[in-house]
């Protein structure tokens, strides 16, 4: 536990105090709670795992899914992103106890972000900006997303819910933004992330397909898409797109199926990918 919370959860019973913590509940499912609480004027989020039970474990395994048993997944993912230079949440407390997989208890406590706006929503309005400022801001944000994706995947981590909504941005007066101003885009909701020495192709397709699905309705142009690809793939992105056509076709198929399922209509294929039809 970080020093800033030691007086909130004092003594040897700190683990029990966190397990019984009350606050504004954001999610409660399968033995897990996510809630917000305050301490000395600062807001925090706690993710508390009380054990998901054997039924849930066997259900996941029967569906060929690895069950999320503890909160350690989250803090390991955060640590890897920090080492990789990707903006994310700040963890100020963590713990795990127990050996029985069905009953193991754990928690992770994070400082609440100043960035509260989901990036997917922000892209649709661009903070009310217009003209050259709007374009410069949009391209800068796309490059930051691409850089985070590139660093995360290069480090061997896939998110599994890699949508634009899991990047957050600050709610501010964007009419005063200037190129060169610092803007944070922390990546969050990492409890399902997977870490290996290299991201397998199928999970790379899933991440990139989810990202494309969430971007399609944001009004991006082919030049916007190119700005992303130049950072994610590299300066020779056109050659790489052709040489790895199979991968990117799979990404388009994944995004298209997801779009059909959730939007009830066919996804309009970005022109930059037209040669991959």
Measured over the CA atoms of residue 185, residue 186, residue 192 and residue 195, the dihedral's sign is: positive
What whole-number percentage of the chain has pLDDT above 70?
Answer: 100
Where does residue 181 rank: exposed (0-12), middle (13-18), buried (19+ CB within 10 A)? exposed
pLDDT digits (tens, 9 = 90+) for 93-115: 999 999 898 899 999 999 999 99
Give mean pLDDT, residues 34-60.
91
Domains of the chain: 3-111 (3.30.200.20), 117-276 (1.10.510.10)
Residue 86 has a pLDDT of 98
Residue 73 has a pLDDT of 93
pLDDT digits (tens, 9 = 90+) for 197-254: 999 999 999 999 999 999 999 999 999 999 999 999 999 999 999 999 999 999 999 9
Residue 53 has a pLDDT of 83
Binned at pLDDT 50, 70 and 90, residue 117 comes out as: very high
Binned at pLDDT 50, 70 and 90, residue 270 comes out as: confident
Query: Average pLDDT of the chain?
Result: 94
Task: Give whole-number Cα distances, 69 to 55, 98, 106, 165, 207, in Å.
Answer: 12, 11, 9, 25, 22
- Please, are residues 47 and 190 in contact by the beta-carbon 8 Å criterion? no
- Please, are residues 113 and 210 in contact by the beta-carbon 8 Å criterion? no
Binned at pLDDT 50, 70 and 90, residue 271 comes out as: confident
**Identified catalytic residue from 3, 20, 121, 161:** 161
To the query of whether residue 3 is one of the catalytic residues in this protein, the response is: no
């Amino acid at each position: 536990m970080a020093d800033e919370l030691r007086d909130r959860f004092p003594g040897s019973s700190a683990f029990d105090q966190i397990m019984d913590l009350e606050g504004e509940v954001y999610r409660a499912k399968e033995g897990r709670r996510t809630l917000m609480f305050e301490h000395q004027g600062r807001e925090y989020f706690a993710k508390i795992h009380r054990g998901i039970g054997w039924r849930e474990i066997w259900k996941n395994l029967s569906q060929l899914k690895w069950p999320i048993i503890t909160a350690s997944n989250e803090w390991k993912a955060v640590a890897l992103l920090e080492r990789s230079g990707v903006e994310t949440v700040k963890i100020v407390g963590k713990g795990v106890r127990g050996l029985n997989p069905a009953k193991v208890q754990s928690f992770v406590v994070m400082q609440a972000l100043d960035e509260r706006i989901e990036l997917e929503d922000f892209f649709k309005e661009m903070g009310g900006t217009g003209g050259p400022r709007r374009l410069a801001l949009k391209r800068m944000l796309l490059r930051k997303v691409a850089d985070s994706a590139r660093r995360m995947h290069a480090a061997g981590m896939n998110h599994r819910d890699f949508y634009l909504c899991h990047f957050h941005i600050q709610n501010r007066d964007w009419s005063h933004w200037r190129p060169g101003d610092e803007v944070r885009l922390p990546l969050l909701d990492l409890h399902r992330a997977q870490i290996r020495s290299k991201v397998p192709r199928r999970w790379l397709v899933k991440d990139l397909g989810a990202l494309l699905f969430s971007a399609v309705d944001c009004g991006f142009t082919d030049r916007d898409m190119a700005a992303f690809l130049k950072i994610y793939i590299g300066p020779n992105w056109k050659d790489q797109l052709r040489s790895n056509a199979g991968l990117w076709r799979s990404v388009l198929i994944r995004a298209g199926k997801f779009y059909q399922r959730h939007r009830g209509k066919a996804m309009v294929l970005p022109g930059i990918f037209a040669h991959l039809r």
